[in-house]
């Protein structure tokens, strides 16, 4: 995969998905990142967005951001190494819902120091596709 910033990953479909679901990339976030299928739930979209940060897929992040909230462009900090994703809670966001929230903790390393991002994200389904709207930062360390 290569994003608009030119970042590259050497992940293959048989590697474990970076979202830490335990599934291989080809059975998890890979098809969502490749636009072969839409995320079926808000959590699945959250996981694919985390995977996009891991592999540097800016296009996926912008494409899955609600147009009313999406920035015109974004740059990823290539000094951040995303290490793990933990889903803490989810409300709605299922197969029959049009809204959902996913609370997560994403752990990372940068400049040799460990850190984490704790957020409660909001999602909506528009024309059958889940989109990230915004989130409340609960803690960043």
For residue 115, what are its two tokens? Answer: 């850190």
What pLDDT does 6 receive? 34
Contact between 48 and 57 under an 8 Å Cβ cutoff? The reply is: no
DSSP 8-state class, residue 27 = G
What pLDDT does 52 receive? 96
CATH number for the 25-140 domain, one of 3.10.450.50, 3.20.20.60, 3.30.70.660, 3.40.50.2300? Answer: 3.10.450.50
For residue 13, what are its two tokens? Answer: 């479909």
What pLDDT does 76 receive? 95
What pLDDT does 13 receive? 66
Neighbours of 10 (CB within 10 A): 7
What pLDDT does 4 receive? 30
Element (H, E) at 116: strand 113-126
User: pLDDT of the chain along its 141 residues, tens only?
Assistant: 333 333 335 566 678 999 999 999 999 999 999 999 999 999 999 999 999 999 999 999 999 999 999 999 999 999 999 999 999 999 999 999 999 999 999 999 999 999 999 999 999 999 999 999 999 999 876
The model carries a pTM of: 0.89
Within 13 Å of residue 30, how many CA atoms lie on the same side as its CB? Answer: 15
Any idea where the domains of the chain sit in the sequence? 25-140
In whole angstroms, give the CA distance from residue 78 to residue 87: 24
In whole angstroms, give the CA distance from residue 34 to residue 74: 19
Element (H, E) at 133: strand 129-140
Q: Identify the CA nearest to 97 among candidates 51, 39, 140, 53.
A: 39
């Amino acid at each position: 995969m290569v994003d608009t910033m030119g970042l590259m990953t050497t992940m293959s479909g048989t590697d474990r998905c970076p979202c830490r679901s335990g599934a291989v990339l080809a059975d998890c976030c890979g098809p969502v990142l490749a636009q072969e299928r839409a995320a079926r739930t808000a959590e699945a979209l959250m996981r694919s967005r985390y995977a996009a940060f891991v592999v540097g897929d800016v296009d996926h992040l912008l494409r899955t951001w609600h147009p009313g909230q999406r920035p015109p462009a974004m740059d990823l900090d290539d000094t951040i190494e995303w290490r793990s994703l933990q889903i803490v809670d989810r409300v709605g966001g299922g197969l029959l819902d049009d809204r959902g929230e996913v609370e997560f903790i994403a752990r990372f390393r940068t400049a040799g120091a460990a850190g984490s991002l704790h957020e409660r994200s909001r999602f909506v389904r528009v024309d059958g596709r889940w989109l990230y709207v915004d989130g409340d930062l609960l803690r960043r360390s």
